[in-house]
Amino acid sequence: MSVHKEVKRITTHTLQEMKNSGEKIAMLTAYDYSMATIVDDAGMDIILVGDSASNVMAGHETTLPITLDQMIYHASSVVRAVKRALVVVDLPFGSYQGNSKEALSSAIRIMKEAGAHAVKIEGGVEIAESVSRILTAGIPVMGHLGLTPQSIYKFGTYTVRAKHEAEAKKLKEDALKLQELGCFGIVLEKIPAKLAHEVSESLSIPTIGIGAGRHCDGQVLVIHDMLGINKGFKPRFLRQYASLYDVMNGAIKNYVSDVKAKEFPNEKEQY
């Protein structure tokens, strides 16, 4: 008889305990069942169904085109795979900016139709009403400050944000506001490490950095980037843990040549 060990799920409370005890939080994106299975089995704390799916899954230049329905499709595939990690899903561009009622109904759809555990939303003080309204429905919210890719046409470039005093000051105020409202964590994207350090120390909730240095309470990367599937994307903050483009491309080339050479399938590979 096999004895099944209960898997202890990661919750927003676990993440808070990790911050309190100084244990770093590991977060990575996933967008489909198979990848999410591998990521969860590897011991990830948070799996983010990011709107970066718009780039890496659909081939768009920005995160703006992905729809709420498409995010729900990706998220429900991930949720079916995950046994331990907390699954956080991005509210996509256009699904919350209109007003707080729209923000709440988008968040409810993500929780109800995908079975997600929390939502992430880009912005600070200007989205406070939406964040509060989502929170009052019992939906955990993660903030996202610094480089917020849904505003790329306002920024004009993907360079480091908050390098200057005024923007750094606004980011600190936004972070405090999100904490006050009740967010359980905040992603800090592409800001100076010193600023991320200061923000992380001033907040009681965890910060998760991407291109924000080592002093954040956790780190997040896009899975296609860190596995080297996305060959051309090599920003300074990215550590590439594998070169899967080359591994997969090599394997596929071998398959093509075996088929052409009539070497696949062989006697043992047929009925």
- Contact positions vs ligand KIV (CB under 6 A): 29, 48, 50-52, 90, 187, 189, 210, 220, 222
Sign of CA dihedral 179, 189, 119, 63: positive
Q: How far is the CB of 187 from ligand KIV (least distance, A)?
A: 5
Could you confirm whether 269 is annotated as catalytic? no
Q: How far is the CB of 3 from ligand KIV (least distance, A)?
A: 37
Residue with tokens 């699954």: 87
* Residue 2 token pair: 């096999």
Cα–Cα distance measured from residue 46 to residue 186, given in angstroms and rounded to the nearest whole number: 13
Q: How far is the CB of 90 from ligand KIV (least distance, A)?
A: 5
Q: How far is the CB of 237 from ligand KIV (least distance, A)?
A: 11
Nearer to ligand KIV, 103 or 249 (CB): 103
Q: How far is the CB of 50 from ligand KIV (least distance, A)?
A: 2
Give exposure, 143-165, as e/b (b: 16+ Cβ within 10 Å). bbbbbbbbebeeeeeeebbbeee
Query: By the 8 A CB rule, do 89 and 49 touch?
Result: yes
Nearer to ligand KIV, 81 or 223 (CB): 223
- Of the candidates 189, 263, 267, 269, the residue annotated as catalytic is 189
Nearer to ligand KIV, 2 or 86 (CB): 86
Query: By the 8 A CB rule, do 15 and 216 touch?
Result: no
Cα–Cα distance measured from residue 143 to residue 129, given in angstroms and rounded to the nearest whole number: 13
Nearer to ligand KIV, 133 or 225 (CB): 225
Q: Determine which helix (DSSP H) or strand (DSSP E) holds 210, and give its type and residue range.
A: strand 207-210
Cα–Cα distance measured from residue 43 to residue 27, given in angstroms and rounded to the nearest whole number: 10
Residue closest to ligand KIV (Cβ): 50
E strand map for 31-128: 46-49, 86-90, 118-122
Cα–Cα distance measured from residue 22 to residue 19, given in angstroms and rounded to the nearest whole number: 5
Nearer to ligand KIV, 114 or 187 (CB): 187
Cα–Cα distance measured from residue 101 to residue 223, given in angstroms and rounded to the nearest whole number: 32
Residues annotated as catalytic are 189
